[in-house]
Amino acid sequence: MKKASLPLVWLSILVSVAAMAQPAPQRLAVLSPHSVEMVYAVGAGERIIATVEYADFPESAKQIPRVGSYNAINLEALLAFEPDLVLLSYQDTNALILEQIKGLGLPVEDTSVSKIDGVATRLRELGQRLGVAEKASQAADDFEAKLAKVRQQYQGRAEVKVFYQIWPAPLTTVSDGWMSQVIADCGGINVFNDNPASYPQVSQEQVILTMPEVILKPHYHGAAKEAGLDWNRWPEIPAVKRNQQHFINGDLVHRTGPRLVDGMEEVCEAIDAARQAKAH
């Protein structure tokens, strides 16, 4: 049995060597904003030949040709760019669009991140795939160091009840997931953490019943901050009573890329402000 297994071992080694010898992809279609930020972070931004709407960081990313958005891709235009690798988030892409892209016969890889610590893992994986492992490892190390620093700073602080208003109409929040992890690492409690839906639509009455001590409102794509619902109509809510409604940069905290930890710092600062208001 040992002799019979040797050819399989050698075959495995040869396949691994062949994979390492393959040239790294040079024409990347990167179809999610956080994936674009990751590719730039590992030092391969100049290889991106097509992307999607709202891929706007770093500044040079704004010049990349667009082939659609997360829920509508121009497949003909995508093919015309002749990418040798398509990168996108499976969990953030419309299921039908994802199947259509896979049906084009192009190499497709997932860049989804479901846990905060997964950002560093994805960076390293991307570095291996693109042949820039050293640069990617440094980017991952930097992310982990910043993340550890923020976690340590807020560890053990008094808990604060948080309502995260991801969208005002329909009123939408988040449940258990990476955003709840961000809130928890800041010493907050997501009041809808146990909701079975990933992005539950809730009523104003449901929010009031949770009595949040801080209300967080993300804004996006450099747009002006919008007040959304007028929570001031309910002064009995602790967050309203103590003037703890805060805007945060959704482009930072909702893109699971290298800047996520910067968004996390904003969230932590807002929660800490509510913590101090509660203490006085």
Residue 178 has pLDDT above 60, yes or no: yes
Same domain, yes or no: 175 and 70: no
Neighbours of 262 (CB within 10 A): 14
Residue 181 lies in a domain: yes
Per-residue model confidence (pLDDT) at position 229: 74
Residue 148 lies in a domain: no
Residue 18 has pLDDT above 80, yes or no: no
- 191-246 per-position pLDDT tens digit: 999 999 989 999 999 999 999 999 999 988 666 565 567 899 999 999 999 999 99
Residue 16 lies in a domain: no
pTM of the model: 0.87
- 101-117 per-position pLDDT tens digit: 999 999 999 999 989 99
Residue 8 lies in a domain: no
Residue 13 lies in a domain: no
Round the average pLDDT of the chain to a whole number and report it.
Answer: 91
Domain count, the chain: 2
Q: Which of 112, 140, 168 is the last residue of a domain?
A: 140
Q: Is 32 helix (H, G, I), strand (E, B) or coil?
A: coil
Parent domain of 124: 24-140
Per-residue model confidence (pLDDT) at position 4: 47
Residue 2 lies in a domain: no
CA distance 167 to 146: 28
Residue 5 has pLDDT above 80, yes or no: no
Q: Which of 140, 170, 197 is the last residue of a domain?
A: 140
Same domain, yes or no: 133 and 241: no
Tokens, residue 233: 């109509």
Per-residue model confidence (pLDDT) at position 2: 47
Q: Which residues are CB-contacts of 208 (< 8 A; sequence separation ≥ 6)?
A: 234, 236, 237
Residue 8 has pLDDT above 50, yes or no: yes
Same domain, yes or no: 185 and 274: yes
Q: Is 181 exposed, middle or buried (0-12, 13-18, 19+ CB in 10 A)?
A: middle
Amino acid at 265: E
Residue 17 lies in a domain: no
Task: Tell me which residue of 274, 151, 153 sits closest to 216, measured CA to CA.
Answer: 274
DSSP 8-state secondary structure symbol assigned to residue 224:
P
